């Protein structure tokens, strides 16, 4: 654990914002933005501010929509529910907790994790704290809820299931963490009675939601190299379930398509990434460790296009949005790419503190949350 924390500090202290966000080699500077003649109109629908945002910390604060609301949290403990269409505040709760992940939402609860190994459940109607529960370590994964069970992964490799009524422990799956890891952890996907979770060892596992029994486990990437640094194969990206397929990426490893029923690997590509993926009806989108954006065939992993003009800009996980792909970068710019060929179509700037959270899509709009707490809704015309 000491070595893990040491590496986390080294990542934070690396000179240059791009290195802080992505771990990219600072000898390879981020690409300068070229002059762009917009091919589409990017329209801002509303904007607001949610507390201090991430407060310059490497935490996992990603807004989530729920019904006609969008929920967001800041590092100093503020949780807000906003009207999805207008951005007007519905309720606000100040927990005074160091929130490090969330929010997750479902079954009447809004869930956040803290750096003090806590999970907080709030009422989705009023924001009132319903219960608090202790877990085994800092929470950097977004809590999930399904069938009355809250699932949360902690940085020590544990996955815990909590009763949604009172936060009491139902089961814990314990996984050994390698000596050296990236700061972060995968947010499990919960669906159809399964918890699909990735680990710093490069392994992906399916666990029964009801009792914590391991149903299958597969290795997405195997450690290689002489040094502990070279052997890092963290699976810190959130597994994405699409039908019977799970898509994942690994650091120093691969992007892979895995059969959800058996854990059998359908295909894999040697592309290193610690960001997640998004998928449409025939392509998946990802950002590699150099902040190049890729579109791959979801059938076999073959390359469709690669956009390298944003190289080194510490991009977020990409999001599919109709005919477009949306990413944010370390200087707070939002970039709109064509889903057909990856060309850059438009950009705008949201937050000078940068963007680390994955944009989210709801209906005809998408929403972006900056590191400084700026939250805005956009559409493309």
- Using CA atoms, how far residue 316 sits from 101, 216, 242, 293, in Å, is 16, 30, 20, 10
Q: Which domains does the chain have, with CATH numbers?
A: 2-380 (2.130.10.10)
Q: What is the pTM of this model?
A: 0.89
* CB of 188 closer than 8 Å to CB of 145: no
Q: Got the DSSP string for 84-141?
A: TTT--EEEEEE--S-EEEEEEEETTEEEEEETTSEEEEEETTT--EEEEEE-SS-B-S
Nearest to 137 by CA among 169, 115, 120, 121: 115
CB hemisphere CA count around 106 (13 angstroms): 15
- Using CA atoms, how far residue 323 sits from 127, 217, 364, 379, in Å, is 36, 35, 11, 12
Question: What does each of the 381 residues of the chain score in pLDDT, given as a tens digit?
Answer: 433 343 343 343 333 344 444 444 445 799 999 999 999 999 999 999 999 999 989 899 999 999 999 999 999 999 999 999 999 999 999 999 999 999 999 999 999 999 999 999 999 999 999 999 999 999 999 999 999 999 999 998 899 999 999 999 999 998 765 443 445 567 999 999 999 998 877 889 999 999 999 999 998 865 554 544 444 446 678 999 999 999 998 877 789 999 999 999 999 999 988 889 999 999 999 999 999 999 999 999 999 999 999 999 999 999 999 999 999 999 999 999 999 999 999 999 999 999 999 999 999 999 999 999 999 999 999
Convert 11-46 to b/e letters by CB count within 10 Å (16 or more is b).
beebeebbbbbbbbeeeeebbeeeeeeeeeebeeeb
């Amino acid at each position: 654990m000491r070595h893990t924390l040491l590496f986390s500090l080294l990542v934070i202290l690396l000179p240059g914002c791009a290195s802080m966000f992505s771990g990219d080699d600072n000898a390879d500077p981020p690409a300068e933005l070229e002059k762009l003649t917009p091919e589409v109109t990017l329209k801002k629908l509303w904007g607001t501010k949610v507390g201090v945002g991430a407060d310059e910390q490497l935490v996992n604060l990603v807004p989530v929509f729920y019904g006609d609301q969008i929920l967001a949290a800041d590092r100093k403990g503020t949780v807000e529910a906003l009207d999805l269409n207008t951005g007007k505040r519905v309720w606000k709760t100040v927990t005074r907790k160091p929130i490090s992940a969330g929010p997750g939402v479902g079954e009447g609860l809004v869930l956040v994790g803290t750096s003090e190994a806590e999970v907080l459940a709030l009422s989705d109607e009023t924001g009132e704290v319903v219960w608090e529960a202790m877990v085994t370590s800092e929470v950097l994964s977004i809590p999930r809820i399904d069938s009355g069970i809250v699932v949360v992964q902690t940085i020590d490799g544990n996955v815990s299931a909590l009763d949604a009524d009172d936060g009491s422990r139902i089961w814990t799956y314990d996984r050994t963490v390698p000596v050296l890891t990236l700061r972060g952890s995968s947010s499990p996907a919960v669906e159809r009675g399964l918890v699909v979770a990735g680990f710093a060892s490069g392994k992906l596992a399916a666990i029964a939601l009801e009792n914590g029994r391991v149903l299958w486990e597969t290795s997405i990437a195997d450690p290689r190299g002489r040094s502990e640094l070279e052997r890092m194969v963290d699976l810190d990206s959130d597994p994405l379930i699409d039908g019977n397929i799970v898509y994942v990426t690994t650091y120093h490893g691969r992007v892979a398509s895995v059969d959800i029923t058996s854990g059998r690997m359908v295909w894999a590509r040697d592309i290193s990434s610690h960001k997640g993926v998004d998928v449409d009806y025939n392509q998946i989108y990802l950002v590699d460790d150099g902040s190049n954006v890729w579109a791959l065939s979801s059938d076999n992993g073959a390359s469709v296009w690669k956009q390298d003009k944003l190289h080194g800009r510490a991009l977020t996980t990409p999001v599919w949005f109709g005919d477009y792909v949306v990413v944010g970068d370390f200087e707070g710019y939002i970039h709109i790419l064509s889903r057909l060929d990856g060309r850059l179509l438009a950009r705008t700037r949201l937050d000078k503190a940068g963007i680390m959270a994955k944009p989210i899509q709801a209906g005809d709009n998408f929403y972006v949350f900056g590191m400084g707490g700026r939250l805005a809704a956009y559409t493309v015309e």
